[in-house]
């Protein structure tokens, strides 16, 4: 049985308000990541404290940067289980963690931030990790 929606809906809405697209099914995931061009950030959401205190706020801060991914999408671990499993199949060589943030460029994962890299940090530190990846891999950087 999954988490109650009264618990998870505010966590979903926090990302939706940032302009993040929810992927609720494996088909949604494949539509976004198969044959993908440009850059896509995948945020694996979670009910844990480090998602609430560091990962989601860090994502929000990172998206205020001038250089950012073309698309930002999310799945919710423990809620949209099949969609989360499908997302993780795109980087199956890494152990699953929640939260987890992957940056794809032209269909290839180029950066991954795992839970152990989020725990014990701060939202600005998470944002800094993401912005560094954006500036290295995203096409909208200044030439």
- Is there a catalytic annotation at residue 138? no
Ramachandran class of 35: left when φ > 0, alpha when ψ lies in -120 to 50, beta otherwise? left
Catalytic one among 20, 33, 41, 50? Answer: 50
Four-point Cα dihedral 16, 132, 58, 108, nearest 10: 40
Catalytic one among 48, 102, 118, 123? Answer: 48
Cα(101)–Cα(91) distance, integer angstroms: 11
Do strands 21-22 and 100-105 pair parallel, antiparallel, or not at all (unpaired)?
A: unpaired
Exposed/middle/buried for residue 122 (C-beta within 10 Å: 0-12, 13-18, 19+): middle
Residues known to be catalytic: 48, 50
């Amino acid at each position: 049985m999954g988490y109650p929606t009264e618990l998870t809906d505010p966590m979903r809405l926090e990302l939706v308000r940032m302009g993040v697209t929810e992927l609720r099914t494996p088909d949604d995931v494949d539509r976004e990541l198969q044959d993908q061009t440009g850059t896509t950030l995948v945020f694996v959401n979670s009910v844990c404290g480090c998602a609430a205190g560091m990962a989601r706020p860090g994502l929000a801060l990172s998206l205020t940067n001038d250089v950012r991914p073309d698309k930002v999408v999310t799945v919710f671990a423990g809620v949209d289980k099949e969609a989360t499993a499908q997302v993780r199949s795109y980087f199956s060589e890494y152990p699953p963690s929640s939260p987890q943030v992957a940056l794809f460029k032209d269909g290839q994962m180029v950066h991954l931030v795992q839970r152990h890299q989020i725990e014990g940090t701060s939202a600005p530190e998470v944002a800094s990790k993401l912005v560094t990846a954006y500036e290295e891999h995203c096409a909208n950087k200044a030439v």
